[in-house]
Structure 1
Amino acid sequence: MVIHGAVIIEQGVTFAIISVKQTVTQYTVRMTRFRQAIAPYFPNMPIILMSQDKNGTPHFYGRKDVVDFLKTVPLDRIPWKVYHIY
């Protein structure tokens, strides 16, 4: 599986942000299963899922304090990487 994401350290909190399709974030069960599947690759850190609507507006799902922070950060400032997960 190939995912687009970033690991960020901000104010002493290390977290992962993963870009997913809206079909993942539309349903709580899908978000939970996806997080569980990738959690071993991002150990001991909150996983924030991000999807974009048809207008390109990002929507974040996860720990509230991290989500509130990410809402203030332009997407092009996030250090996105491609992760190959096997």
Structure 2
Amino acid sequence: MQFDGAKIEEQGVTFAIAVVKPHILSSPNKEKIRMWFTSFFGNIPIVLVAQNSRGNFTYYGRHDIVNFLANINPARIPWKRYTTN
């Protein structure tokens, strides 16, 4: 499986972002999915992000990190493609 994401350290906080399909953010399983990415990135906060058809980003996760991400240009995020087994 491949996914796009980023591991970031900002203002002394290390966290990860994982890109998911938009329907995941309205799924009752979104917390389980977020926890799966925690097992991939380690024990750091994980934020899920989805992009809609208009290019707008929606974030789900820890509120302080979500608020931070919502106020920056997504082009500033060091996106990377990850491969899992």
**Greater mean alpha carbon deviation, residues 55-64 or residues 34-43:** 34-43
1:74 aligns with 73
**SS of structure 2 residue aligned to 1:28:** coil
Q: Which runs of 5+ in 1 are unaligned?
A: none
**Cα distance between partner residues in 2 of 1:57 and 1:10:** 22
**Cα distance between partner residues in 1 of 2:47 and 2:28:** 13
Deviation at 1:39, TM superposition (A): 1.6
**Cα distance between partner residues in 2 of 1:42 and 1:53:** 25
Q: TM-score, normalised by structure 2?
A: 0.93
Q: Which runs of 4 or more aligned residues in structure 1 lie more than 4 Å from their structure 2 counterparts after TM superposition? A: none
**Cα distance between partner residues in 1 of 2:28 and 2:7:** 23
Q: Which runs of 5+ in 2 are unaligned?
A: none
The amino acid across from 1:26 in the alignment is: S
1:83 aligns with 82
Structure 2 residue 65 is the aligned partner of structure 1 residue 59:
no
Tell me the number of residue pairs that the alignment of Structure 1 and Structure 2 aligns: 85
Structure 1 segment 42-57 matched on structure 2, within 5 A? 42-57=41-56
2:17 aligns with 17
Identity %: 41
Q: TM-score, normalised by structure 1?
A: 0.92
